[in-house]
Structures are given as C-alpha cells and as structure tokens.
A and B are shown apart, each in its own frame.
Chain A
Amino acid sequence: MPIILRLDRVMADRKMSLNELSEKVGVANVNLSKLKNGHVSAIRFSTLEAICRALDCQPGDILEYQDE
C-alpha cells in the first residue's frame, strides 16, 4: 500500500515506548505493534486522534504517501 505509517519514527523522536503509548492511547500494544509495522488496512479517526494527542503531533507526521 502506498500509505506508510511512520509511528516508529515519531515514537523515537518523543522517546516513547510502545507500552507507554499503548496506555495513553487505550489500544492494546499488540494492535499498536501491527499499526507500527503496517499490518492494518485502515485506521479510525478516533485512534488517529488519540495517537496524535499522546505523541503531540499532526496526522501528517505519522502518515506518509509513497508513490509505488
């Protein structure tokens, strides 16, 4: 898929672990790991909103479009 999730990069910038993000967002770390590794086909606005709030970033910082 040409949409790539850059969650690991933003998490590294904020020095936040997966467990910490999982607690703040309220999503199981297994699911967050899937999200980080791009193993999901869609993301809800509510999840995106919670992640952006926890990481203090914009959706564009997490999502990236790459031409195939």
Chain B
Amino acid sequence: MENSRMIKTANGLDKLFKILRTLIAVALVVMFAVLSALTIANWVNPDTVIGTDPELVDIGPLTLELAQAHRPDNGTVLRYAWAYAGMGAAAAIAMYYALGVVRSILAPMKQGQPFCQSVCDDLKKLGVVSIVMGVIANIGAAAEALSLMRIYGLVDLVGGEVIRSVRVNIEFDLTFLAVFFVLMLVRYIFQYGVELQHLSDETL
C-alpha cells in the first residue's frame, strides 16, 4: 500500500533528522568549547598568514587586494573566529529549530495520517522560520562585512602598504521568499486535505 511507503519514508527521514539535530547540538558545544579553550590559552596557528603573494583574498563578503603577505595577530584571528562562530551558531540554532518543526510534521505521517491540523500549523511555522533565516542571513552578510572592517581595522589599512583596496560583495538573496511561498502553497493543499479527511472520517 502507498500508505506503508509513506510511513516507511517518514520513519527514515525522522531518524535522519534526529541524528542531524544531535550532530548540530554536539558540533555547537564542541565549537564553543574549542574556541573558549583557544581564547583562554590565547593560541592560534602561528603560521596563519593571509596572502603569501600579492593577490586577492576573499574573507566573507570582503575581497582584499593585498600588496604583501599579512600575518594577523592572535587577538585579530580570535575575534574573527568568534564572530564567525556567533553567526554559525545563529544559523545552527535556526536549523535545529527548523528540523524540530519538520520532525513534528513527520510525526502524524509516521502514523499514516498526513492530513492533520498540526501539520498545517507546522508548515506555517516553517514558512516563518524560512523568512527569519533569510532575513538573518542577509543582515548577517552585511554585519559580517562591517565587523570584519572593524576587526581588521581595514579603514586605516586601505591605501597603506598591506591592502591596496577593499571590495564589499553584499548581495540580497531572495530565495527565502520563494521557499516561503512554496511552503504556504503546500500548507493550503494540506488544509484542503484536512477538510477532505474530516469528511472521510465522518462517512460510514
């Protein structure tokens, strides 16, 4: 029966998402533990060198044109690592929450009953999460550029001996809007399914 295939797929996906959520949680804890240890010890790889030859270096949304190799000090590298870790953590937490919502969508499907009001509500939640994640990602990219400029003190270095020019590459990605509308469309289909299921349940 088609229903049994759905139950099997939902069970498989649920297990996969459960593992993914655990991995995200473990990765977050490990990342912050390692970063904290590095910060306390004030240690970074002593060979950290940006641009061994004069070249263009991409750091996040910034493209630096270096005139010579640059060896950033420990503090700069650690601040940069913490800024990246913070953004990564925000994305990971949003992903963790989104996977939780997807798992709750899969729960009624595991019972062989996909058309539930809770699925419609969760699809709406997922749509809102996609909007929030998209906005955060776009704001994050701009914030990353600004924070990098502050961390490296690029404004002072531009025109100096190390950096010839800085180019900030910020693009506003609207993919999240498409994801939101597709999710809302799926939600309306499920809403109609709930109504049909209700009629079917009341038919003897």
Residues 19-44 of A, flagged 1 when their CB comes within 8 A of B and 0 if not, give 00000000100011011000011111
Chain B residues with CB below 8 A from A35, complex form: 204
A27 to B203, CA, bound (A): 12
Neighbouring B residues of A43 by C-beta, 8 Å: 203-204
State which residues 154-203 of B face A: CB under 8 Å: 199, 202-203
A interface residues, how many (CB within 8 angstroms): 11
Q: How many residues from B make CB contacts under 8 Å with A?
A: 4
The answer to whether the Cβ of A58 comes within 8 Å of any Cβ in the partner chain is no
Q: How far is the CB of B101 from chain A (nearest CB, A)?
A: 32
Chain B residues lying within 8 Å of A27, measured Cβ to Cβ, are 204
- Contacts A34-B204, A41-B199 known; 13 new A-B pairs at CB < 8 A: A27-B204, A35-B204, A40-B203, A40-B204, A41-B202, A42-B199, A42-B202, A42-B203, A42-B204, A43-B203, A43-B204, A44-B203, A47-B204
Q: Please report A residues at the B interface, Cβ cutoff 8 Å.
A: 27, 31-32, 34-35, 40-44, 47
A and B contact pairs by CB, cutoff 8 A, 14 listed: A27-B204, A31-B204, A32-B204, A35-B204, A40-B202, A40-B203, A40-B204, A41-B199, A41-B202, A41-B203, A42-B202, A42-B203, A43-B203, A44-B204
